[in-house]
């Protein structure tokens, strides 16, 4: 019973922090436009967050080894709350880039610590339920954050202060949860060449999922404002996109367990591309139809990474699964840096709606690649396919909660093994 209460409070804490982080991610795009920042500058700022997130996967494990989980968590959470306020106090592109990168480091550190603690608190019998609850919490927190954009004046410090409050409040249930610190064990990534040899489609899918969704998280609010949506419309657009992912991701994943996963991934990428490109036609009728397109894009686009990871795991031995996931998340993060940078320059050069074309093309590339791989390589027999995992690019420590890892937990081979590895690019 005590472990269940501990897990619940940890989930509640991360939900609050993600609500604050989701609010700030959208707020920055809209406020940047009000401050006169160009699309390319906003894209650079958003890429700074993903740069920090990737860098944090190397920095934070060293901090944990040096001072432990508790001190690392306290320091990073405090810094993260401060960075939120600094955005509102100093609306300057250079300041925003620096503090956004710092926020990325802090957020990945928070993920690492909380996911490691969840692993420590979770028994083998509870792992599947806790894993699903954790992934659901991430989407709910991010979705609530989008709706909070309507609760204050974007042109003032008010919403930045609200984001900082949520980040700070999220610390309270975590700080009062008695958790035994996991042991620190070194782990390694799977080399990119070996990973590509095992699963070319998994590598391409994860990379382009990062490019497309990185551009979406960073610049979709800017695009929505550019076509004339007010803050309520922007909030609804982002929230519906997340809702689409939350409702459809699980059915898509279960379907991929029953079919050739490459076919499911190809169709998901095709529908994602069609939703993004079709939005260009919809908004020519009525800009409010972007809400429909956002829901459709999120319904399939947010599944691209988890399907790519599941397909990769079908070709990887179980003992290398966490290493492979770590490398895929690093690829995702690299794509998430390139996405907003490239899309930002295109938006400044052509116009805000080019973001939709950019997201559409980045989804169609892995769709075409999947079709080619189906021609040159036979499918994995269904009996040999592993179970789909609803992964997001947070930390490989989260994957250890999945039931497939039970045997390794029982043998003492997981726990914090990859909580310190955590090559874990970005969820906004």
Contact 105, 57 (CB under 8 A): no
147, 179, 211: which is the final residue of a domain? 179
Host H or E run for residue 66: helix 39-67
Residues 40, 10 within the same domain:
yes
Classify residue 41: in a domain, yes or no. Answer: yes
CA distance 222 to 29: 5
Provide the pLDDT for residue 125.
Answer: 60
Q: Which domain holds residue 236?
A: 190-394
Report how many helices (DSSP H) and strands (DSSP E) the chain contains, helices first. Answer: 16, 0
CA distance 280 to 405: 43
Q: Which two tokens stand for residue 75?
A: 């320091």
Structural domains in the chain (count): 2
Residues 352, 231 within the same domain:
yes
Classify residue 239: in a domain, yes or no. Answer: yes
179, 198, 222: which is the final residue of a domain? 179
CA distance 251 to 157: 41
DSSP 7: H
Q: Say what the pTM is.
A: 0.84
* CATH code assigned at 62: 1.20.1250.20
Torsion of the alpha carbons at 340, 341, 344 and 350, rounded to the nearest 10: -120
Residues 243, 151 within the same domain:
no
Residues 172, 265 within the same domain:
no
Measuring CA to CA, which residue among 376, 374, 375, 346 is closest to residue 360? 346
Classify residue 409: in a domain, yes or no. Answer: no
Mean pLDDT by 10 residues, the chain (428 residues): 65 89 93 93 94 88 83 88 93 95 91 77 64 80 92 92 92 76 59 85 93 94 92 93 88 85 92 93 88 92 88 77 78 92 95 95 95 83 67 56 48 39 45
Classify residue 404: in a domain, yes or no. Answer: no
179, 199, 219: which is the final residue of a domain? 179
> How many residues in the chain?
428
Classify residue 423: in a domain, yes or no. Answer: no
Provide the pLDDT for residue 5.
Answer: 62
How far are the Cα atoms of 61, 73, 181 from residue 67, in angstroms, in the given order? 10, 10, 12
Q: What phi-psi label fits residue 68: left (phi over 0), alpha (psi between -120 and 50 degrees) or beta? A: left
CA distance 143 to 20: 10
Residues 309, 333 within the same domain:
yes
Provide the pLDDT for residue 133.
Answer: 78
Residues 118, 86 within the same domain:
yes
Provide the pLDDT for residue 416.
Answer: 36
Q: Is the alpha carbon torsion for 407, 411, 414, 416 positive or negative? A: positive
Provide the pLDDT for residue 145.
Answer: 93
């Amino acid at each position: 019973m005590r472990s269940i209460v501990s897990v619940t409070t940890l989930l509640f804490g991360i939900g609050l922090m993600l609500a604050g982080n989701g609010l700030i991610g959208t707020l920055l795009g809209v406020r940047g436009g009000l401050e006169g920042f160009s699309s390319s500058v906003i894209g650079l700022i958003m890429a700074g967050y993903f740069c920090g997130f990737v860098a944090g996967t190397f920095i934070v494990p060293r901090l944990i080894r040096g001072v432990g989980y508790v001190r690392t968590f306290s320091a990073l959470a405090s810094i993260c709350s401060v960075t939120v306020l600094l955005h509102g106090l100093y609306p300057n592109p250079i300041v925003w880039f620096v503090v956004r990168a710092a926020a990325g480091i802090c957020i990945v550190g928070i993920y690492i610590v909380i996911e490691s603690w969840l692993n420590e608190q979770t028994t083998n019998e509870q792992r599947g339920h806790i894993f699903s609850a954790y992934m659901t919490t991430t989407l709910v927190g991010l979705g609530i954050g989008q709706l909070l954009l309507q609760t204050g004046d974007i042109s003032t410090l008010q919403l930045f202060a609200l984001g900082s409050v949520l980040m700070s409040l999220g610390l309270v249930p975590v700080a009062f949860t008695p958790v035994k610190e996991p042991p620190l064990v070194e782990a390694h990534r799977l080399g990119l060449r070996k990973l590509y040899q095992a699963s070319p489609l998994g590598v391409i899918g994860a990379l382009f999922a990062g490019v497309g969704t990185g551009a979406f998280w960073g610049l979709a609010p800017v695009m929505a404002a550019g076509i004339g949506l007010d803050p309520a419309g922007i909030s609804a657009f982002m929230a519906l996109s997340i809702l689409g992912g939350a409702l459809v991701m699980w059915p898509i994943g279960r379907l991929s367990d029953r079919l050739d996963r490459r076919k499911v991934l190809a169709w998901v990428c095709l529908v994602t591309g069609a939703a993004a490109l079709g939005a260009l036609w919809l908004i020519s009728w009525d800009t409010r139809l972007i809400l429909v397109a956002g829901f459709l894009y999120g319904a399939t686009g947010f599944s691209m990474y988890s399907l790519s990871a599941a397909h990769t795991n079908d070709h990887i031995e179980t003992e290398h699964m966490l290493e492979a996931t770590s490398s895929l998340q690093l690829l995702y993060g690299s794509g998430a840096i390139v996405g907003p940078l490239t899309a930002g320059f295109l938006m400044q050069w052509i116009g805000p709606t080019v973001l939709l074309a950019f997201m559409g093309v980045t989804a169609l590339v892995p769709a075409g690649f999947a079709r080619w791989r189906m021609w040159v390589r036979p499918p994995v027999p269904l009996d040999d396919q592993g179970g789909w995992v609803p992964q997001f690019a947070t930390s490989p420590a989260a994957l250890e909660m999945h039931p497939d890892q039970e045997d390794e937990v029982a043998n003492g081979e997981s726990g914090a093994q990859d909580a310190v590895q955590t090559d874990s690019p970005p969820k906004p």
